Amino acid sequence: MIAASLAHQVRPAWIEAAGLAALLLSPAMLVQPVEAATSTIGRTWPIVEPDALREIEGKLSSLPPMASKFAPRSDWTAMRSAALGVTRRNAVRTVVPFYTLGDDIRLPDGRTLYPKGFTFNPLTYVRLPQRLIVVHAVEIGWALNEARPTDWILLASGPSPSPDPIALSQKVGRPIFILEEAVRQRLGLTVAPVIISQVGQTLKLEETQLPLSAKRDHHQ
């Protein structure tokens, strides 16, 4: 029962530990529409109120352009990737992404189930459903060839400035996410390219040295 409670309570911790929240909130994230069947039961009447979406669109169309009031996306701190070195040799290593609770987890009656500071391995309770492929911008072509449909590609900064991930996503036709510094630290990343996958209760980091011919700049 305690294990079940922990599994339920620590899921948000794992989302943070794996950087999933950051990825889902990434501006490069694509949202697919969902279709559902509908049916009509009983009498119906036409809606006489104005369409809310059309009202909002009409109001927005009357507002002056706002793009000029903001700095270029390249200057946004939220768009800056964590820096990684370049992989100089092929290597495989493992990491346990331990997570420490920042607050007490309490039961409905107020009793403490797990105290602040409790450390655990999230991979004991959940499974990472996809691989994470972390690359520099010049390695995007390699990542696109290596990535499975369910994999996530994360962009790290390096010797040269990173491109706009939104524009890059639109160009390659696939979501490109930002590697955040907190995720870099939690996953123990030091170099790229690297492919991260779950093996049991550990993360396997496959660091791959690429030949110069494989490093084609796809963002220009």
Note the pLDDT tens digit of each residue in 72-97. Answer: 555 555 567 888 999 999 999 999 98
Whether the CB-CB separation of 97 and 186 falls below 8 Å is answered with yes
Q: Is residue 49 part of a domain?
A: no
Burial of 173 (0-12, 13-18, 19+ CB in 10 A): exposed
Whether the CB-CB separation of 198 and 182 falls below 8 Å is answered with no
Number of domains into which the chain is organized: 1
Note the pLDDT tens digit of each residue in 8-58. Answer: 444 443 333 334 433 333 333 333 333 445 555 666 666 666 677 777 777
Q: Is residue 145 part of a domain?
A: yes
At 23 the pLDDT is 33
Average pLDDT of 176-193? 90
Q: Is residue 143 part of a domain?
A: yes
Q: Is residue 161 part of a domain?
A: yes
- DSSP collapsed to 3 states, 90-140: CEEEEECCCEECCCCEECCCCCEEECCCCEECHHHCCCCCCCEEEECHHHH
At 49 the pLDDT is 67
What are residue 105's DSSP bridge partners? 114
Q: Is residue 183 part of a domain?
A: yes
Q: Is residue 188 part of a domain?
A: yes
Instruction: Please state, in angstroms and rounded to a whole number, the distance separating the CA atoms of residues 177 and 147.
Output: 13
Q: Is residue 92 part of a domain?
A: yes
Which domain does 85 fall in, by range?
2-27+76-214
pTM for the complete prediction? Answer: 0.63
Whether the CB-CB separation of 172 and 217 falls below 8 Å is answered with no
At 21 the pLDDT is 35
Note the pLDDT tens digit of each residue in 129-142. Answer: 899 999 998 899 99
